[in-house]
Amino acid sequence: MTDDTLLDQAHAAMEAAPENEAARLRFYEVLAASELFLLLAAEPEGENVTPELFEVGDTGFVLVFDREDRLAQFVGRSAPYAALSGRVVAGMLAGQGLGMGVNLEVAPSSILLPAEAMAWLVDTVGEAPAEVEARAQEFAPPRGLPEGLLTALDARLAAAAGLADMAYLVETTYDSGAKGHLLGVIDAMPGAEGSLARAVSEVLRFSGLEAAALDVGFFRASDPVAARLARVGLRFDLPQPEAPAQMPGSAPGRDPDSPPRLK
């Protein structure tokens, strides 16, 4: 496979414009959301994992790859690994004095990220989105949102295959008179609401916008509100996987609130 991954593209954009804060944030946003293959020194034991460490000076780095074939190319032999999201790997490393080596020697996105970057990433994505009670009175087409935010939101929803059917982005006026934007998610899988809300919250944080700039609501297709959203909203279709989607948190490492433990 020679096609660049989303991580390759985000890394290239960051390298091309080292002073561009938005490009740097976009790279870390993609890293946090990506499924990464963590190279292990031994097979997992329950919730405990023992990563293979790569020493650079006085610092140890775990090795992660955004494709299985890249891990195999680097190792050159059969080796155990764990498939985890970038945010989960960062959470495991934060406070351990360990950095992350990403796609070393096998991809254009090869990079060493220091331990300090892991702590920053955890602080950035660690806060759970707040739940609020508000009633939307009016919907209108979205306006005034940065193009970069819309692109990042589209990419993140495309990566949430099978967790919902679609979503509509609208400008809304609430019963309090306040105005804002709402992402109305249609027919989310039971239990997937938290993962979807967290994904949108992360997109906002890495875009440099306040969390209150975009609310997330969940509706059934049979709800009259869904038809109102469809009339004026910007539509995002979530891909449907061929196999049944795995529920978030149903396998070790999938639940950010209960990641594997370093051994």
pLDDT of 151-178, one tens digit each? 889 988 988 888 999 999 999 988 777 8
Q: What is the pLDDT of residue 3?
A: 81
Q: What is the mean pLDDT of residues 121-146?
A: 76
Contact 69, 30 (CB under 8 A): no
Q: How crowded is residue 125: how many other Cβ atoms within 10 Å of its Cβ?
A: 24
Q: How confident is the model at residue 248 (pLDDT cuts 50, 70, 90)?
A: very low
Tallying the residues shown for the chain, one arrives at 263
Strand partners, 170: 182
The answer to pTM > 0.85 is no
Q: What is the pLDDT of residue 250?
A: 35
Q: What is the pLDDT of residue 201?
A: 83
Kindly tell me if the per-residue pLDDT of 1 is higher than 80: no
Q: What is the pLDDT of residue 253?
A: 47
Amino acid at 58: D
Q: What is the pLDDT of residue 220?
A: 93
- Structural domain 136-237, CATH architecture: 2-Layer Sandwich (3.30)
Kindly tell me if the per-residue pLDDT of 113 is higher than 90: yes
Q: What is the mean pLDDT of residues 94-122?
A: 93
Kindly tell me if the per-residue pLDDT of 251 is higher than 70: no
Q: Tell me, letter by letter, the H, E, C secondary structure of 207-225.
A: CCCCHHHEEEEEECCCCHH
Kindly tell me if the per-residue pLDDT of 247 is higher than 60: no
Contact 170, 141 (CB under 8 A): yes
Q: What is the pLDDT of residue 100?
A: 96
Question: Does the structural domain 6-126 have CATH classification 3.40.50.2000?
Answer: no
Q: How confident is the model at residue 107 (pLDDT cuts 50, 70, 90)?
A: very high
Over pLDDT 90: what percentage of the chain?
41
Q: What is the pLDDT of residue 127?
A: 59
Comparing 74 with 145, which gets the higher pLDDT? 74
What 3-state class would DSSP assign to 141? Answer: coil
Residue labelled with tokens 């985890």: 84
Residue/partner pairs of 23-26 with CB below 8 Å, 24 or more apart: 25/206, 25/207, 25/208, 26/148, 26/152, 26/206
Kindly tell me if the per-residue pLDDT of 130 is higher than 60: no
What is the pairing mode between strands 214-219 and 179-186?
parallel
Would you kindly state where each structural domain of the chain is located, as residue ranges? 6-126, 136-237
